[in-house]
């Protein structure tokens, strides 16, 4: 069963989607269900988080299979994207501003996006020996 899920990317995507939605639904969407604007914005970030988690899992599985350092850089870049999306989700949710340090709220996402782009570039341009 485990091997079938790991090989079948659509099944893996459905499992990750269900788990991520189950975790974030009561925290992020249900409290704002009466405000369609928030639900749409949060849904966009939820979709980005689901795709980020899926890409992280697939790249880690590929790294374990191939051992390529390029794939490792890619998985770290996807992890950076996940952190950025989680910060963006926290930023748009009312009442979460007191959780984060204001400076990190503004400066951390662009820094992490730059790190993500650098890791992608490093992974693409790196020559394997």
Q: CB–CB of 80/111 below 8 Å?
A: no
Q: Rounded to the nearest 10 degrees, how much is the dihedral formed by the CA atoms of 62, 126, 113, 56?
A: 0
pTM: 0.80
Q: Name the one residue in this structure whose structure tokens are 């890619």.
A: 74
Residue ranges per structural domain of the chain = 2-125
Tens digit of each residue's pLDDT (9 = 90 or more) over 72-99:
888 999 999 998 888 888 777 766 655 5
Length of the chain: 129
pLDDT, residue 86, reads: 87
Tens digit of each residue's pLDDT (9 = 90 or more) over 23-72:
888 877 777 777 777 778 888 889 999 999 999 999 999 898 888 888 88
3-class SS at 96?
coil
pLDDT, residue 123, reads: 75
Burial tier of 44 (Cβ tally within 10 Å: 0-12, 13-18, 19+)? middle
DSSP string, 60-77: HHHHHHH--HHHHHHHHH
């Amino acid at each position: 069963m485990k091997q079938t899920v790991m090989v079948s990317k659509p099944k893996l995507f459905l499992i990750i989607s269900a788990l991520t939605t189950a975790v974030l639904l009561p925290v992020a969407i249900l409290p704002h269900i009466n405000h369609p604007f928030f639900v749409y914005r949060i849904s966009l970030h939820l979709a980005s988080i689901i795709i980020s988690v899926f890409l992280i899992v697939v790249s880690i599985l590929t790294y374990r299979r191939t051992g390529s350092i390029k794939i490792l850089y890619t998985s770290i870049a996807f992890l950076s994207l996940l952190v950025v999306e989680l910060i963006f989700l926290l930023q748009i949710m009312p009442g979460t501003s007191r959780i984060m340090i204001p400076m990190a709220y503004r400066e951390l996402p662009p820094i992490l996006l730059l790190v993500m782009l650098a890791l992608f570039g490093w992974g693409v341009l790196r020559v394997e020996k």
